[in-house]
Amino acid sequence: MKVEHFVEERILKILITEEIDHHTSSKIRTRMDYEILRFRPKKVIIDLKNVKFMDSAGVGLMIGRYKSVKSCGGNLEIENANSKLMKIFEMSGLPKIIEFRNTSELQGFSNEIESILI
């Protein structure tokens, strides 16, 4: 996991680089909550572009972080979840309460290519 803090804008950017399951999520959760409580950011952006696998543990992880960010008065955004991750997020209804975005055009493009090929 990589963490960037933009002091002036009070934005915390978290890049998750490991697979997200029940085993890895407790470590990810501890680190994220530590950073959130330390900086009390206005906005937290979780970038999932490097996450190749996620199961339902990812949903619990994001709901939990949504709550901890909110309790510090901030907002949570999730970026660049691939189509496999989005399938699980959509099932959970999470996109109704958390903003999901795609920032990299390349990511969107390769997702599209993948869906054409399959």
Partner 1 sequence: MENLKNEMKLEFLSKSANESFARVTIAAFAAQLDPTIEELADIKTSVSEAVTNAIVHAYSGSEGIIKIHSRLYENLIEIEVIDTGVGIENIEEAKTPLFTTKGSLERSGMGFTIMESFMDELKVESVVGLGTKIYMKKKIKSSGKELSL
> Quick check: 22 binds partner 1 (CB under 8 A)?
yes
Taking the least distance from each CB to partner 1, the nearer of 57 and 69 is 57
> Quick check: 28 binds partner 1 (CB under 8 A)?
no
Could you tell me if 5 and 43 are in contact, meaning their C-beta atoms sit under 8 angstroms apart? no
3-class secondary structure per residue, 85-99: HHHHHHHHCHHHCCE
**How many residues form the binding site for partner 1 (CB under 8 A)?**
22
CA distances, 9 to each of 12, 13, 44, 58 (Å): 9, 11, 11, 27
Taking the least distance from each CB to partner 1, the nearer of 15 and 63 is 63
User: Per CB under 8 A, which of residues 48..77 are in contact with partner 1?
Assistant: 53, 55-57, 59-61, 63-64
Cβ burial of 14 (10 Å; 0-12, 13-18, 19+) is: buried
CA 44/CA 66 separation, integer angstroms = 9
Site map 77..96 versus partner 1, x via CB under 8 A? -------x---x--xx----
Binding residues for partner 1, rule: CB under 8 A, are 19, 21-23, 25, 29, 53, 55-57, 59-61, 63-64, 84, 88, 91-92, 114, 117-118
